Structures are given as structure tokens and as C-alpha cells.
């Protein structure tokens, strides 16, 4: 027997019963983004590996261990995108869309790929909706991005389950000075650090601040604090952001250990986290990356953005019971029983669609007796069954039978059925 093939570990099918929730989520976010004046950009899912190495950073987990790369005979290396900020920046430079200070407010949606250990909320193919804004330097745009996400959580009804964590990473120079002080301090405790942190001490010391290991956390309690190293400009920027969040009434928590897993950030970084999903609690993350254009070979350009994990947000909606009922519910299911009725059902349903294009109408296919078709109508979750039997055929009428309440069924002329349904579904 031939062995049945399965999907790749960590890469999931989104099955028909799950897609209505995805569509609900996608529509909610994309309508919101349009209402703020953001435009969509679509970039390929593969890029040259060098793009991600240069932007995310050579010694990050993503670049070191998690990229799916394809090395070709021509000496070129390609990677499935682990994230999309770098690709959007690459696209701006390539097409000259941020030249001469031109402001861009963009969003994207699509699959990202990271070879992580799969678990609830962590997959190898996952989806992000992200936003990137270019050529705006002030904290007002950082605040707008946060206000936009806050509005989204409120629209979805999950605002009480998420927390905004904020930090400032300052300028490159301030960060380097701080890094040196942190390494000095931690080197005295090197033997007591966990293995990961020991190796990060020489590669990516700031990531140690992010540790989940209790013994390392204890050592960090007395470590130098970045607040003593932050530069004046970044400090003012951060104060400006906090002032605006206070004005908007958006609650936040300051977290000086928040460093993020990608190297391109400066000044503002933020994450929206939840305790409702276990270990994978970050549903959205982002920040400023004013040096990234130059790192990739472009002119200095301010950049700020975020990306949210769609799988995690859908899990959260489920966990909190916030998925609206009757998503994509059918309005009508057309039941046709008896000689010649199925062709007529097709014709009548097309006529109804001409007059009522918004109607969600499914016509029974594949035959079946009355009981069997009515059962299918019920299982479809439609609100009404339209019934065409031999009696109705001879009278040129249809029965319109409510399936979700006890109101009486009605006999309606073929010519009036669309307006009757419009009235019912108003
Ligand atoms: P990130 O924090 O790596 O940032 O990813 C953003 C979000 O994607 C995370 O908060 C999480 O919700 C989701 N996510 C990440 N990895 C996985 C995974 N393996 N499975 C499921 N969901 C996941 C970025 O990617 C930056 N590009 C965000 C950004 C945009 N910064 C500025 N602009």
C-alpha cells in the first residue's frame, strides 16, 4: 500500500470550517488599515538570503537557525522570508519609493517561515499582518501605530486580554555603550549564567535581558540599566510617545528588558502580550528601525512598523469566546424535489441572484428525497429553506420555510421571491 502523505510538520492546512474566522479577522484588520489611509504592498515570499542576514542580524536565532534556505549551483542563496520588514525596505529602495523624504504608510499580509520547534501558537509556516511607515521621524507616528492596534483589539473584543509592553533601545551609540557595560557586569558571573546566555555574551549580549531562565534573571537584577545610558534624543522621543499614549488613554507597561529578536531596532520597541495563550504570548511586535535602509544599501530613511501573528490572534479569539456566531451564514438553501424541479431550481435561483446579488444562496445538488434535502438545508445552517416540489411547481410558487425559529412557512410567487427575501433579511 502507498503510504499516505501528510503536511510538513509545523505547516498547517486552514480547513473550510476555519476559514470564516480567518476571513472575519482579515476583513476586520484590512478595513481598519484602509480607514487609517494605509496601502497594501505585496512582495515575493523568497528573497536573497543576504537580505535577511544584513537586516535581521547574523547572530540572531532567526538567521542562525531558523531560515529555510536554498543554495543554488549559481552560487546564489535564496531564503523563504522569515519576516517581511526587510523585504519591504528592499522594495522601497529598489523602486525609489522613499526618495526625497516621500512618506509611505504600507501594510502587508502573508505567510512567513521559521524553522522553530512547533507548539501551540508557534509554527514553521505562519501568517503575519504587518505595517511599515517610512520617512516619519517623530513619536506621533509611533503613537498612531499603537492607537491603530489598540483600536483593533477593541474591535475584536480582546482589549482586556492584551498588555502593551514598551521600551526604548536608544541610538546605536548609546546601545553600544550599554552593551559594553552589560558585558563587563555579566562576565563576572559568566560561570553562573545558563548556557545560551553564556554564548550570547560574546554574540548578542542584549538578548540575555530577554532570558526566561530564573537563575539568569536573578543575576540581571543588579545589572546596569539602559535608562542610565540612553541618549538625549531617544529619551525625548520616548517621552513624547508616552505623553501621547497617556493623552489617548492607552494603557502600557514599561519593560526595560524588552529587546526583541531582530537586530534592526532603535528607539521605540513594543510588544502586545497575553497570558491567555501559554508560552507563545506575544501577539504583535514592532518598533523603530531608522538605520535599516543604510544597512541594506539605501539612503538614511526613518522607518517604524509592527507585525501581528494571525494564528496567535485567532487562537486568542477562540480562547476568549470572541468569535462572532453565524460567520458567513447562508441565507437560503434551495430544496428541489420531483421531476424537472432541479433545472428549474437553478433557473429560479439565478433569477433571484439577479435581483438580490447579496443573498447567500446555496442550491441543492446531487438530488435526494425531501427529508434528505431538508436535512442538508438544516446542516448548512441556512436561515431559510426555499422548497420547490411538484405542488409548488404547478402553482408557480415556492415555500419559504424558516429553519432557525418557529415562525410559519409562507407560499410565495416565483416573481416575488427576491423581494420577499429582501424583506425577511432586512
Ligand atoms: P516578530 O516579533 O519576529 O517581528 O514577529 C511578529 C509576530 O509574528 C510575533 O509577535 C508573533 O505574533 C508572530 N510570530 C512570530 N513567529 C511565529 C511563529 N513561529 N509562529 C506563529 N507566530 C509567530 C517581526 O517579524 C518584525 N518584522 C515586526 C516588525 C515590523 N517590526 C517592524 N516592522
> What pLDDT, on the 0 to 100 scale, is given for residue 1?
81
- What's the Cα-to-Cα distance from 122 to each of 64, 69, 271, 293, rounded to whole Å? 18, 20, 16, 29
- What's the Cα-to-Cα distance from 73 to each of 64, 70, 77, 78, 217, rounded to whole Å? 22, 10, 9, 11, 46
Helix axes 172-187, 195-203, angle to 10 degrees: 140
> What pLDDT, on the 0 to 100 scale, is given for residue 326?
83
Query: Does residue 244 have a known ligand-binding role?
Result: no
Residue with cell 474566522: 21
Query: What distance in angstroms lies between residue 308's CA and the mean position of ligand 1's atoms?
Result: 6
Mean pLDDT, residues 135-146 taken together: 98
Mean pLDDT, residues 372-385 taken together: 96
Mean pLDDT, residues 87-110 taken together: 98
Query: Does residue 114 have a known ligand-binding role?
Result: yes
82 touches ligand 1 (CB under 6 Å): no
pTM for the predicted model, two decimal places: 0.94
- How high does pLDDT run on average in the chain? 96
Residue 210, pLDDT above cutoff 90: no
- In angstroms and rounded to an integer, the radius of gyration of the C-alpha atoms of the chain is 28
pLDDT tens digits for range 357-373: 999 999 999 999 999 99
Mean pLDDT, residues 248-268 taken together: 94
Query: What is the C-alpha separation between 253 and 246, in angstroms, rounded?
Result: 12
- Give residue 72's pLDDT band: very low, low, confident or very high (50, 70, 90): confident
- In sequence order, the 6+-apart residues with CB closer than 8 A to the CB of 108 are 40, 41, 42, 43, 84, 88, 128, 129, 130, 132
Query: What is the C-alpha separation between 411 and 397, in angstroms, rounded?
Result: 6
In this prediction, what percent of the chain has a pLDDT beyond 90? 92
> What pLDDT, on the 0 to 100 scale, is given for residue 231?
97
268 touches ligand 1 (CB under 6 Å): no
- In sequence order, the 6+-apart residues with CB closer than 8 A to the CB of 25 are 156, 310, 313, 314, 317
- Give residue 205's pLDDT band: very low, low, confident or very high (50, 70, 90): very high
> What pLDDT, on the 0 to 100 scale, is given for residue 130?
98
> What pLDDT, on the 0 to 100 scale, is given for residue 179?
93
- Give residue 288's pLDDT band: very low, low, confident or very high (50, 70, 90): very high
Query: Does residue 48 have a known ligand-binding role?
Result: no
pLDDT tens digits for range 309-349: 999 999 999 999 999 988 989 999 999 999 989 999 999 99
Q: Which of 77, 75, 72 is nearest to 47 (CA)?
A: 77
Query: What is the C-alpha separation between 300 and 213, in angstroms, rounded?
Result: 38
pLDDT tens digits for range 150-187: 999 999 999 999 999 999 999 999 999 999 999 999 99
- In sequence order, the 6+-apart residues with CB closer than 8 A to the CB of 407 are none
Query: What is the C-alpha separation between 354 and 374, in angstroms, rounded?
Result: 25
Residue 352, pLDDT above cutoff 90: yes
Mean pLDDT, residues 275-302 taken together: 96
285 touches ligand 1 (CB under 6 Å): yes
81 touches ligand 1 (CB under 6 Å): no
- Give residue 10's pLDDT band: very low, low, confident or very high (50, 70, 90): very high
Hey, what's the cell of 103?
A: 512618506
Contact yes or no for 62/82 (Cβ under 8 A): yes
Domains of the chain: 19-171+231-319 (3.30.930.10), 332-425 (3.40.50.800)
Task: Tell how far CA 397 is from the center of its chain.
Answer: 48
Amino acid at each position: 500500500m502507498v503510504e499516505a502523505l501528510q503536511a510538513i510538520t509545523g505547516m498547517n492546512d486552514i480547513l473550510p470550517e476555519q476559514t470564516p474566522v480567518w476571513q472575519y479577522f482579515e476583513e476586520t484588520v484590512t478595513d481598519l488599515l484602509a480607514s487609517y489611509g494605509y496601502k497594501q504592498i505585496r512582495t515575493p515570499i523568497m528573497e536573497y538570503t543576504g537580505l535577511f542576514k544584513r537586516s535581521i542580524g547574523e547572530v540572531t536565532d532567526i538567521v542562525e537557525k531558523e531560515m529555510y534556505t536554498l543554495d543554488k549551483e549559481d552560487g546564489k542563496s535564496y531564503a523563504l522570508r522569515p519576516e517581511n520588514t526587510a523585504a519591504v525596505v528592499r522594495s522601497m529602495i529598489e523602486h525609489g519609493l522613499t526618495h526625497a523624504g516621500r512618506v509611505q504608510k504600507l501594510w502587508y499580509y502573508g505567510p512567513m517561515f521559521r524553522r522553530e520547534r512547533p507548539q501551540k501558537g508557534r509554527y514553521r509556516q505562519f501568517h503575519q499582518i504587518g505595517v511599515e511607515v517610512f520617512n516619519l521621524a517623530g513619536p506621533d507616528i509611533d503613537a498612531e501605530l499603537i492607537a491603530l492596534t489598540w483600536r483593533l483589539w477593541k474591535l475584536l473584543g480582546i482589549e482586556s486580554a492584551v498588555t502593551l509592553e514598551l521600551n526604548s533601545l536608544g541610538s546605536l551609540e548609546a546601545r553600544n555603550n550599554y552593551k559594553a557595560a552589560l558585558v563587563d557586569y555579566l562576565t563576572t558571573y559568566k560561570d553562573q549564567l545558563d548556557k545560551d546566555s553564556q554564548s550570547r555574551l560574546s554574540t548578542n549580549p542584549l538578548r540575555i535581558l530577554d532570558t526566561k531562565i530564573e537563575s539568569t534573571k536573578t543575576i540581571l537584577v543588579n545589572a546596569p540599566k539602559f535608562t542610565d545610558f540612553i541618549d538625549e534624543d531617544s529619551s525625548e522621543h520616548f517621552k513624547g510617545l508616552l505623553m501621547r499614549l497617556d493623552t489617548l488613554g492607552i494603557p502600557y507597561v514599561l519593560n526595560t528588558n524588552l529587546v526583541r529578536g531582530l537586530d534592526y531596532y532603535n528607539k521605540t520597541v513594543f510588544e502586545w502580550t497575553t497570558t491567555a495563550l501559554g508560552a507563545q504570548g506575544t501577539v504583535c511586535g514592532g518598533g523603530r528601525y531608522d538605520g535599516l535602509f543604510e544597512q541594506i544599501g539605501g539612503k538614511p530613511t526613518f522607518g517604524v512598523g509592527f507585525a501581528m501573528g494571525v494564528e496567535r490572534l485567532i487562537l486568542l479569539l477562540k480562547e476568549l469566546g470572541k468569535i462572532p456566531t453565524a460567520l458567513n451564514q447562508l441565507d437560503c438553501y434551495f430544496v428541489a424535489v420531483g421531476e424537472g424541479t432541479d433545472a428549474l431550481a437553478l433557473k429560479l435561483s439565478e433569477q433571484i441572484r439577479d435581483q438580490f446579488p447579496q443573498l447567500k444562496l446555496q442550491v441543492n445538488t446531487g438530488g435526494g428525497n425531501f427529508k434528505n434535502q431538508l436535512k442538508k438545508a438544516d446542516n448548512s445552517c441556512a436561515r431559510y429553506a426555499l422548497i420547490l416540489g411538484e405542488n409548488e411547481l404547478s402553482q408557480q410558487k415556492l415555500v419559504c420555510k424558516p429553519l432557525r425559529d418557529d415562525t410559519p412557512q409562507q407560499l410565495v410567487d416565483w416573481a416575488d421571491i427576491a423581494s420577499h427575501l429582501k424583506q425577511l433579511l432586512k
